C-alpha cells in the first residue's frame, strides 16, 4: 500500500509540475509542490467524485486602440485572469420496487486552476493617416494567450516575448488600406435655383491634401417629402471627382437616373405620395477611389428639407 501511495503522489507531482511549467534543471522545492497539491483554494470537499474529462475556461480580454505616431508606441500593461471549471460527477443509490439499488448520477462544476498573465503591446514606428485608428485585443483563455488585430493599418510580424509578463512586439511590413473617415466629406450646401430649375449640391473635403492624386465618387438620391412615411423617390446621380477641397454638383429632376420599378407599382406609389408637400431632401454618400483607403461606399445620411 505504501508503494501504491508513493506512486500516486509521484504521478500527481509530475502532472502538477507539467501544468506549472516547472523547470527540472533548476532547484525544485518538492515540499512546496506537495503542499500546493493538498491545498484547496475554494474549500470544496466532495468525496467519491470522479473527473468526467469536461472542462472550460473563462476568457478575459483587454482592448487597445492606437493612433498615428512617428516613433515606437507602447500600450499600458494589463492584468488578465482565467479560471478553469471542471465537471465532476458522483452517484447515489435509492431502493427500487424489487429491492434493487437504482443509481442516480449527479454532476457539478468546480473551479480548477487559475492563470494570471500581464500583457502589453509594442508597435514599431509606422505611418498612419490622421483619421486612422488600429484596434487590437489580447485575450487569456486558460493557459493560452492570443493577440487579435481587429482593425490594422499594416500587415505585422509579431514577436511574443515573456510568459507571465507577455510583450507582443509588432513590426510593420506592408500598408493595408483602412476605411475612409466618414467625417472627411462634409455637406456645405444644398439648395434649389428657381432660375435654372436645378438643385445645387456642394461638399467640402477635409482630407483633400492627403488624397491628392486620387479620386472620390459622390452619389446623391433626391426624394420628395411624402404623405406620412411615403417619401417619393425621384432618382439618383453619381459623379467622380479628382481629390480637391470642394466638389460641386448641379442637376434637374430630368437628369436623374430612376430606379427600375414595375410600372403599376410605380403608379400606385405615386398615387399614395400625391398629397405630399413640395419639400425635397437628398440622401447622399461617397466612396474613395485609389490606394489610400478601402473603396467602400460610406453613407452620410440625408440633408435638411428645402422647398420650391
Lowest mean pLDDT among 47-61, 112-126, 130-144, 207-221: 47-61
Q: Is the dihedral of CA 122, 127, 128, 130 positive or negative?
A: positive
**In which band, very low, low, confident or very high, does the pLDDT at 229 lie, cut at 50, 70 and 90?**
low
Bridge partners (DSSP) of residue 251 are 199
Distance CA(182)–CA(288), nearest Å, equals: 11
**In which band, very low, low, confident or very high, does the pLDDT at 227 lie, cut at 50, 70 and 90?**
low
Find the mean pLDDT for residues 17-33.
40
Distance CA(252)–CA(255), nearest Å, equals: 5
283 φ, ψ (degrees, to nearest 5): -95, 130
Q: What is the reported pLDDT for 31? A: 37
Find the mean pLDDT for residues 197-212.
97
SS3 for 184? Answer: helix
Nearest to 230 by CA among 279, 281, 199, 274: 274
pTM value?
0.70
Whole-number Cα distances in Å, 86 to 50, 113, 263: 11, 9, 65
Report all structural domains of the chain as residue ranges with CATH numbers, in order of start.
47-175 (no CATH), 182-307 (2.60.40.10)
* Chain segment 80-110, per-residue pLDDT in tens: 999 999 999 999 999 999 889 999 999 999 9
Say how far residue 235 (Cα) sits from the centre of its chain. Answer: 35
With 90 as the cut, is the pLDDT of residue 297 above it? yes
Q: What is the reported pLDDT for 53? A: 64
HSE-CB at 223 with a 13 A cutoff on CA atoms is: 18
Whole-number Cα distances in Å, 99 to 4, 91, 94, 106: 37, 18, 9, 22
One-character DSSP codes across 5-59: HHHHHHHHHHHHHHHTT--TTS---HHHHHHHHH--TT----TT-EEEEEEEE-E
Q: What is the reported pLDDT for 278? A: 83
Q: What is the reported pLDDT for 226? A: 77
Mean pLDDT (the chain, rounded): 83
Whole-number Cα distances in Å, 124 to 28, 133, 169, 225: 39, 15, 8, 53
Amino acid at each position: 500500500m505504501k508503494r501504491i501511495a508513493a506512486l500516486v503522489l509521484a504521478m500527481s507531482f509530475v502532472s502538477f509540475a507539467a501544468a506549472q511549467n516547472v523547470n527540472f534543471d533548476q532547484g525544485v522545492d518538492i515540499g512546496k509542490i506537495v503542499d500546493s497539491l493538498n491545498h484547496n483554494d475554494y474549500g470544496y470537499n466532495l468525496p467519491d467524485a470522479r473527473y468526467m474529462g469536461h472542462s472550460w475556461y473563462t476568457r478575459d480580454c483587454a482592448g487597445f486602440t492606437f493612433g498615428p505616431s512617428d516613433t515606437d508606441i507602447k500600450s499600458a500593461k494589463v492584468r488578465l485572469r482565467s479560471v478553469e471549471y471542471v465537471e465532476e460527477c458522483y452517484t447515489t443509490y435509492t431502493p427500487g420496487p424489487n429491492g434493487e439499488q437504482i443509481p442516480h448520477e449527479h454532476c457539478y462544476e468546480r473551479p480548477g486552476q487559475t492563470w494570471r498573465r500581464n500583457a502589453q503591446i509594442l508597435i514599431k514606428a509606422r505611418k498612419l493617416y490622421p483619421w486612422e485608428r488600429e484596434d487590437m485585443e489580447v485575450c487569456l483563455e486558460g493557459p493560452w494567450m492570443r493577440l487579435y488585430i481587429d482593425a490594422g493599418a499594416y500587415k505585422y510580424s509579431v514577436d511574443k516575448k515573456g510568459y507571465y509578463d507577455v510583450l507582443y512586439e509588432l513590426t510593420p511590413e506592408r500598408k493595408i488600406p483602412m476605411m475612409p473617415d466618414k467625417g472627411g466629406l462634409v455637406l456645405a450646401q444644398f439648395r434649389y435655383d428657381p432660375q435654372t430649375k436645378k438643385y445645387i449640391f456642394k461638399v467640402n473635403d477635409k482630407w483633400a491634401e492627403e488624397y491628392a492624386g486620387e479620386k472620390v465618387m459622390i452619389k446623391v438620391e433626391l426624394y420628395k417629402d411624402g404623405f406620412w412615411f411615403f417619401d417619393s423617390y425621384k432618382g439618383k446621380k453619381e459623379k467622380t471627382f479628382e481629390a480637391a477641397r470642394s466638389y460641386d454638383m448641379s442637376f434637374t429632376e430630368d437628369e436623374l437616373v430612376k430606379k427600375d420599378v414595375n410600372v403599376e407599382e410605380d403608379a400606385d406609389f405615386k398615387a399614395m405620395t400625391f398629397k405630399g408637400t413640395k419639400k425635397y431632401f437628398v440622401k447622399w454618400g461617397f466612396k474613395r477611389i485609389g490606394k489610400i483607403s478601402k473603396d467602400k461606399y460610406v453613407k452620410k445620411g440625408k440633408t435638411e428639407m428645402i422647398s420650391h
